[in-house]
């Protein structure tokens, strides 16, 4: 895999070549850390941001949400998504939104180590449509890493990691469950593969209801080579596999980040992941609807100085994709969010854009979403000196 030439300095790529970009702070409560943001946008350009708010709900952490119109104007105050008892810590949220504005939030509810993935549906005004819904709730299983994907019918799929046993000797498997638009489950939860040591699943769904799951198969040792690989598997709208799992990569030489995947209008998709050894880079590869590669993997980041990690990817539902990631300053003095557009055929825009709060020491943990007309939103957390982490968003148009 070829590497691009070094940029002279991090500052040479701090150009956001988009139309109408605007930044805003998402959270209004800022007395404690706000972390782990996620975002979803519908084709009208309305978007919902969810995040973990430490202590804001009176305990270790709650999941909060806030709605915005296409201009980035808040549609009301932030509100708590979870209903859990006071002894439950809620974290790792994800969100998906339907064309009409209804949305689903999914997260981990942790009661003293008993971790369950739960979901809750809301209407377009942010009013709850359901109570908290356990996605699986199997006894003796630690559930984590939830992600969600939805198509224009409102049908959705949730994926997560099941761990059986303790964190050192236990085995982990990626799992999934399908739902109708009204939140009715389509069958029982099922595991993506019968091969253990799976982590960080990510999912995307096409208009036909087919979905693709990408995950990392973990090695059994902390000594190099780590033996960690990006895996992929497709399913039909009923959750039946469309073939065996696929191995996408050689050894990743890192054990910190999972892959990301998004689908295009023809059922094709793009997968992004992190490749090492340290300092790592962001790779991406496009596939057609039959999971056949459209081109070879290529490095997305044009700046090769510093460490790149934590990729996310968004699609306009057709042929445009936005990949965003953490970009660490090689001096160790800070972090920004890098990004680049690409097509469903894997053609990169050729420039690395950036979002950051310039006064913040760190800008990281990004997520992104796009509308069909090319409008997009990127969310991340930024560490403002003396005030902890807050959630920020930047809107723009392709």
List, for residues 229-279, the tens digit of each pLDDT value: 999 999 999 999 999 999 999 888 776 899 999 999 889 999 999 998 888
- How far is it, in rounded angstroms, from Cα 3 to Cα 16? 23
List, for residues 107-128, the tens digit of each pLDDT value: 999 987 789 999 999 999 999 9
Residue 383 is part of which domain span? Answer: 1-27+260-398
- How far is it, in rounded angstroms, from Cα 383 to Cα 380? 10
pLDDT of residue 222: 52
Tell me whether residue 36 is in a domain: no
58 has pLDDT over 60? no
Q: What's the token pair of residue 355?
A: 């979002």
Q: Give the least confident one: 65-74, 142-151, 273-282.
A: 273-282
Tell me whether residue 381 is in a domain: yes
Residue 304's pLDDT band (cuts 50, 70, 90): confident
Tell me whether residue 83 is in a domain: no
| CATH number of the domain residue 337 falls in | 2.120.10.10
The DSSP line for 176-209 is EEEE-TTS-EEEEEEES-SSS-EEEEEEEE-TTS
Q: What is the mean pLDDT of residues 300-308?
A: 89
pTM (2 decimals)?
Answer: 0.93
Report how many helices (DSSP H) and strands (DSSP E) the chain contains, helices first: 0, 28
Pairing of strands 281-287, 269-275: antiparallel
Query: 23's torsion region: left (phi>0), alpha (psi -120 to 50) or beta?
Result: beta
Tell me whether residue 68 is in a domain: no
Q: What is the mean pLDDT of residues 219-234?
A: 74
Tell me whether residue 82 is in a domain: no
Tell me whether residue 368 is in a domain: yes
370 has pLDDT over 80? yes
Tell me whether residue 38 is in a domain: no
Please state the domain count of the chain: 1
- Mean pLDDT (the chain) is 89
Buried b (16+ CB within 10 A) or exposed e, 184-215: eeeeebeebbeeeebbbbbbbbbeebbbbbbb
Tell me whether residue 297 is in a domain: yes
Q: What is the mean pLDDT of residues 205-225?
A: 83
pLDDT of residue 20: 58
């Amino acid at each position: 895999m070829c590497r691009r030439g070094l940029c002279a300095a991090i500052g040479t790529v701090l150009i956001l070549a988009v139309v109408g970009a605007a930044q805003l702070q998402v959270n209004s409560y800022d007395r404690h850390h706000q972390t782990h943001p996620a975002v979803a946008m519908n084709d009208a350009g309305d978007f919902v941001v969810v995040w973990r708010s430490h202590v804001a709900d009176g305990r270790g952490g709650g999941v909060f949400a806030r709605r915005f119109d296409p201009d980035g104007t808040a549609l009301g105050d932030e509100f708590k998504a979870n209903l859990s008892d006071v002894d439950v810590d809620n974290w790792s949220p994800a969100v998906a939104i339907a064309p009409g504005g209804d949305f689903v939030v999914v997260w981990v509810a942790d009661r003293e180590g008993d971790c369950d993935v739960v979901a809750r549906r809301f209407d377009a005004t942010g009013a709850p449509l359901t109570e908290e819904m356990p996605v699986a709730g199997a006894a003796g299983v630690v559930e984590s890493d939830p992600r969600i994907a939805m198509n224009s019918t409102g049908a959705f799929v949730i994926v997560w990691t099941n761990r059986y046993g303790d964190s050192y000797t236990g085995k982990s498997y990626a799992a999934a469950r399908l739902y109708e638009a009204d939140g009715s489950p389509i069958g029982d939860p099922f595991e993506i593969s019968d091969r253990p040591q799976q982590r960080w699943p990510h999912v995307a769904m096409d208009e036909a209801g087919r979905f693709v799951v990408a995950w990392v198969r973990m090695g059994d040792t902390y000594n190099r080579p780590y033996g960690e690989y990006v895996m992929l598997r497709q399913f039909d709208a009923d959750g039946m596999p469309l073939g065996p799992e696929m191995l996408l990569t050689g050894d990743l030489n890192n054990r910190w980040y999972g892959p990301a995947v998004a689908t295009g209008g023809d059922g094709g998709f793009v997968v992004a992941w992190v490749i090492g050894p340290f300092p790592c880079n962001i790779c991406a590869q496009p596939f057609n609807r039959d999971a056949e590669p459209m081109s070879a993997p290529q490095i997305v980041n044009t700046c090769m100085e510093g460490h790149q990690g934590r990729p996310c990817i968004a699609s306009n539902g057709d042929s445009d994709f936005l990949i965003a990631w953490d970009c660490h300053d090689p001096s160790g003095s800070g972090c920004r969010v890098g990004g680049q557009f690409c097509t469903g055929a894997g053609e990169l825009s050729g420039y690395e854009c950036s979002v950051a709060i310039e006064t913040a020491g760190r800008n990281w943990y990004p997520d992104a979403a796009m509308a069909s007309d090319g409008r997009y939103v990127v969310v991340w957390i930024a560490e403002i000196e003396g005030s902890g982490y807050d959630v920020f968003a930047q809107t723009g148009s392709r």
